[in-house]
Each structure stands twice: as C-alpha cells, then as structure tokens.
Structure 1
Amino acid sequence: MTIVLNNLTAAHADDVEAIDGSFHIKSRLLLSSSQNIVDFTVVPAEPRVKRYEHDNPDDLASYIGAETKLAIIAYNNQRPAGLLLVSENWNGYAIVDSIKVDISHRKAGIGRMLLDAAMEWARLRNLSGIMLETQDNNVDACLFYQRYGFILRGFDTGIYSAIPATHDETALFWYLLF
C-alpha cells in the first residue's frame, strides 16, 4: 500500500469525482449537554447508506492556489482515495470544509494523514486549532475525530431541518485545540 498526498490542481478534477464519500448508517449519537460539556452515547438507527452530491468544480477551483485555503487529494496505490478542503475561519481556527475518504480505502490511515496535513497547515498559519462539522449519524467519523483528539463542543438540531433528506440530522461541531 502506497499512500500519496498531493496538492489539488485542476488536473485532479476527474479523480475527485471518483472518490465515493458515502457511508453506512447503522447508529447515531444520542447527545447530552451539561455545564458546557457535550457528551454522547451511541444508539441504534435505521440502517441505510448516505450519499453526497459530487463536489462543485467551481468550489474546488476556489481552493487551488488560494493563500488562505488548503486542498489535498490522497491516492492509495495510484487510485483516488481521499480529499481534504480546509480554510481559515473568521474565529481564528482552521475549518475543515470537506474531508472524505473513499469507502473502499477506509481504515488505511488516509483520514489521519489528511488531518495531519490540516494540522500542520493550521499551525504554520498560527491558528488556534481546527474545527469541523459532521452529523450525528456519521458515527464512524465522529469516533475517528474523537480518537484523533477533537472535542465535541456543540450541536445544532435545526440546521438541516428544512432539507427533506436530512431533516432529522443534528450538526455536530468538533474542535481540536492547539
């Protein structure tokens, strides 16, 4: 297994499209909050697969060569395997705008390598840490972020409520402080 990370260029557009960021839902996080501490337990959920739309080429293009953004594509044995999009957020953190690892390349260390790159980029920019948002039904990702050192600091039960496909999802906000 050979994993290579490359800065995203326009030449990678077809490779980005080939990355399948879907995931299997079989559980979700049951959240609780007390005295500024957010906690969770994992509970069963109706099994299904969640798929995302393809990345907008115009959005991707805004990352290429941008001073305040980072875009990396990962390859595993020369096959597109992951994508990371990071930018400087208004609050002094780096924000992971998108991170995905192809469903057939998970558990190979690619997610960790992508977050390592985000952390290095954020530290070089003297940012306070990294933040990201995911959903309560992406349990594997949540547990990965927790193992990496992120802390669940907040959630929003209404952010997806107007979107029929995601109306029952809760947004989770994770922080890695430097």
Structure 2
Amino acid sequence: MRIPFLPLRQREFYLLPLDARDLPSMAEIHQEDFSRPWSEEEFATLLGQDGVFGFSAREVGHGDKPPVGFVLTRLAADEAEILTIAVDRAHRRLGVGWQLMDAVLRDLHARRTAALFLEVDETNAPAIALYRRLGFIQVGRRPNYYANSEGPAGALVMRRDLG
C-alpha cells in the first residue's frame, strides 16, 4: 500500500543590502566552512571600503532572526569579484545561494559591469555546479590556494561576462 505524501511548504527568503547589523551573523556563518574564517572586524573593514557591497538572506516570517546567508562583492571600474558567499548549513540546497548570486548579477548588470570573477575550492562540487548553472566558466586555476580537511586544495578561477 502506498501512502501519499505532501511536499513540505516551499521556504521563501528575502534579501537586504548588507549592513553593520549583519556582521556577527556573517562571521558565524563564514566560520562553518572556511578553514580561515573572517572575523567581524575583517567584514566591517571590507564593508567600509569603496565599491564593496553585498546582500543578506533572511527567511520570510523570521525577520527577527539573523540572516541565513550572505554574499560580499567588490566592484572596481567595470569588473567585480565575489569576495565570499556563505549559507548556513541548515539552509543549504534551498536556493539561497542562487538568490544571493542572482541579486549580485542583477545589481552589477544595472551598473553596466563587464564581468564578474570568483574563486572556488576545486573540491566544492555543489558551489561549482551552482556557478556553472549561473553561466560562469573556468578561466584559471590556483594550486594550493585553500586549506581544507583533506589538505591543500586548488582554487578554480571562474568568470561570467555581463555585458
């Protein structure tokens, strides 16, 4: 006998520009996956620089709770780079990373930015798959760029043209 099931309610998220209130959450989320996580002070310094901006993601109906993910981007002339992007473990595989990247791409397109670059750990298959779905292509590789649980790992340098 088969028992029908109903899928769980689709979880929805909304995005806001990053600001100083997000710094503690940014540092906490970053610490979950990076062997050299950035501190609140490092994030504050970056956010204070010209051309640096980003977005935080919050779950709809949970506006009083901290962000569940964020993306930090630097724009210089007509090129930009993703400095870092992170989603807390409990909210992965729900489209949060996609929404964050889409927000950056839309913002940069509106600013007439020519290209967006990023570096990703070559062992991070889910992130690489996301970036490829978003139209990024590999344009280089940096050996021994990251340290992870298996030891040193290379970074794939990826680019997406926006023009």
Matched, 1:121 2:107: yes
Question: What SS does the aligned partner of 2:43 have?
Answer: helix
Q: Deviations over 1:14-73 (max 9, x none)?
A: 322342664xxxxxxxxxxxxxxxxxxxxxxxxxxx544443222322344654111211
Structure 2 unaligned runs (5+)? 1-10
Matched, 1:13 2:23: yes
Q: CA deviation at 1:142?
A: 0.6
Maintained 8 Å contact 1:21/1:100: no
Match of 2:41 in 1: 58
After superposition, the Cα gap between the structure-2 partners of 1:21 and 1:108, relative to the gap in structure 1 and judged at 3 Å, is: farther
Q: Distance in 2 between matches of 1:67 and 1:164?
A: 31
Question: What SS does the aligned partner of 1:14 have?
Answer: helix
Give matches, 1:80-99, under 5 Å.
Answer: 80-89=67-76, 92-99=78-85
After superposition, the Cα gap between the structure-2 partners of 1:128 and 1:17, relative to the gap in structure 1 and judged at 3 Å, is: same
Normalising by structure 1, we get a TM-score of 0.71
Maintained 8 Å contact 1:83/1:99: yes
Q: Structure 1 residue runs of 4+, over 4 Å off?
A: 163-167
After superposition, the Cα gap between the structure-2 partners of 1:5 and 1:63, relative to the gap in structure 1 and judged at 3 Å, is: farther
Say which structure, 1 or 2, has more relative contact order (CA 8 Å, 6+ apart): 1
Normalising by structure 2, we get a TM-score of 0.76
Percent identity for Structure 1 against Structure 2? 24
Q: Distance in 1 between matches of 2:153 and 2:85?
A: 18
After superposition, the Cα gap between the structure-2 partners of 1:140 and 1:66, relative to the gap in structure 1 and judged at 3 Å, is: same
Q: Distance in 2 between matches of 1:16 and 1:74?
A: 11
Q: Distance in 2 between matches of 1:106 and 1:54?
A: 18
After superposition, the Cα gap between the structure-2 partners of 1:53 and 1:157, relative to the gap in structure 1 and judged at 3 Å, is: closer
The structure with more helix, counted as a fraction of residues: 2
The structure with more strand, counted as a fraction of residues: 1
Give matches, 1:35-50, under 5 Å.
Answer: none
- Give the counterpart letter for 2:158 in structure 1: W
Q: Distance in 1 between matches of 2:96 and 2:43?
A: 20
Q: CA deviation at 1:166?
A: 7.2
What is the root-mean-square deviation in Å for CA atoms of aligned residues?
A: 2.5
Q: CA deviation at 1:168?
A: 2.9
Question: What SS does the aligned partner of 1:169 have?
Answer: strand
Aligned counterpart for 2:54 among listed residues 71, 85, 103:
71
Q: How many residues align?
A: 148
Q: Distance in 1 between matches of 2:152 and 2:28?
A: 28
